[in-house]
């Protein structure tokens, strides 16, 4: 009788382990991020310039943006339903996965490098625009602890679209309206130049 109980106990323990095994892998970032690959690629380096590269982005920034999409404070018809069913654990796992990937670098348009570099590194004193590198770093690596995003290598098309969104107030996920205030003083030519410069920055 004791042997029967022992076998039963072992069977129950094995069953419990098998039931728990998926849970042990539930936080696997690669698994959680698999659905993101359709637009952002498995390594987070999207090839469509309309969609941002997520590779190498700060985990805090990614978490904040996913929560903003989920909560509706950042509007996007594609991202809203994608983020809607993500739990906090999912968001954390996805953010950490992409943060650990290496971002590929693009190239700036040669004719825009000078103007873009001047704005990125020195700002525009005449219009009160500060240097981008003050928050995003000389090489565009951002400030992960503060939640300031990495920009280096990001698609120029995407960067320009976000600056336009900040300028018009369409996007309002910046703390203390920092980016909205800055973008409001940028000309269309400045946005084009600095966005191009950022794509080749590393």
Number of domains in the chain: 2
Cα within 13 Å of Cα(24), Cβ side: 6
Residues 61 and 121 in one domain: no
Cβ burial of 104 (10 Å; 0-12, 13-18, 19+) is middle
> Distance between CA 91 and CA 151 in Å, rounded?
21
Residue % of the chain over a pLDDT of 90? 85
Question: Distances in Å between the alpha carbon of 121 and those of 118, 129, 132, 150?
Answer: 5, 11, 6, 15
- CB under 8 Å, gap of 24 or more: what pairs does 75-79 form? 75/170, 75/171, 78/39
79 and 157 in a single domain? The answer is no
Q: Which of 28, 57, 44, 63 is nearest to 136 (CA)?
A: 57
**What value does the mean pLDDT of the chain take?**
89
Q: Are residues 131 and 75 in the same domain?
A: no
My answer on whether 67 and 140 are in the same domain is no
Q: In sequence order, which ranges of 25-112 are alpha helices (DSSP H)? A: 29-33, 37-40, 59-71, 79-84, 88-99
pLDDT given at position 58: 97
13 pLDDT band (50/70/90 cuts)? Answer: very low
Q: For residue 28, what pLDDT is reported?
A: 81
Q: What is the pLDDT of residue 46?
A: 98
Residue after which a domain boundary falls, among 43, 73, 99: 99
Domain hosting 67: range is: 25-99
Position 8 pLDDT exceeds 80: no
pLDDT of residue 19: 34
Q: Indicate whether 35 and 79 sit together in one domain.
A: yes
User: Which CATH number fits the domain that encloses residue 179?
Assistant: 1.10.760.10
| Burial bucket for residue 95 (CB in 10 Å: 0-12, 13-18, 19+) | buried
Q: How much is the pLDDT for 162? A: 98
Residues 79 and 121 in one domain: no
**Rounded CA separation 145/167 (Å):** 25
Question: Does 139 share its domain with 61?
Answer: no
Q: Give per-residue pLDDT as tens, 41-51.
A: 999 999 999 99
Name the pLDDT band for 18 (thresholds 50, 70, 90): very low
Is the same domain home to 74 and 121?
Answer: no
Summarised one tens digit per residue, pLDDT across range 146-157 is 999 999 999 999
Are 162 and 82 found together in one domain? no
Is residue 5 in some structural domain? no
Mean pLDDT calculated for residue range 175-187:
97
Regarding whether 192 and 118 lie in a shared domain, the answer is yes
135 near 123, Cβ under 8 Å?
no
């Amino acid at each position: 009788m004791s042997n029967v109980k022992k076998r039963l106990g072992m069977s129950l323990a094995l069953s419990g382990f098998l039931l728990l095994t998926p849970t042990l892998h539930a936080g696997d970032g690669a698994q959680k991020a698999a659905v993101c690959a359709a637009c952002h690629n498995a390594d987070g380096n999207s090839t469509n310039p309309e969609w941002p590269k997520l590779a190498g982005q700060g985990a805090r920034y990614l978490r904040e943006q996913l929560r903003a999409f989920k909560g509706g404070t950042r509007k996007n018809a594609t991202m809203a339903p994608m983020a809607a069913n993500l739990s906090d654990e999912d968001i954390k796992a996805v953010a950490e996965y992409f943060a650990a990937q290496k971002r590929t670098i693009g190239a700036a348009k040669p004719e825009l490098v000078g103007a873009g570099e001047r704005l990125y590194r020195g700002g525009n004193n005449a219009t009160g625009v500060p240097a981008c590198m003050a928050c995003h770093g000389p090489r565009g690596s951002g400030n992960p602890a503060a939640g300031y995003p990495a920009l280096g290598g990001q698609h120029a098309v995407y960067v320009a679209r976000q600056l336009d969104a900040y300028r018009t107030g369409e996007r309002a996920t910046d703390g203390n309206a920092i980016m909205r205030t800055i973008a409001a003083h940028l000309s269309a030519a400045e946005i084009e130049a600095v966005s191009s410069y950022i794509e080749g920055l590393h």
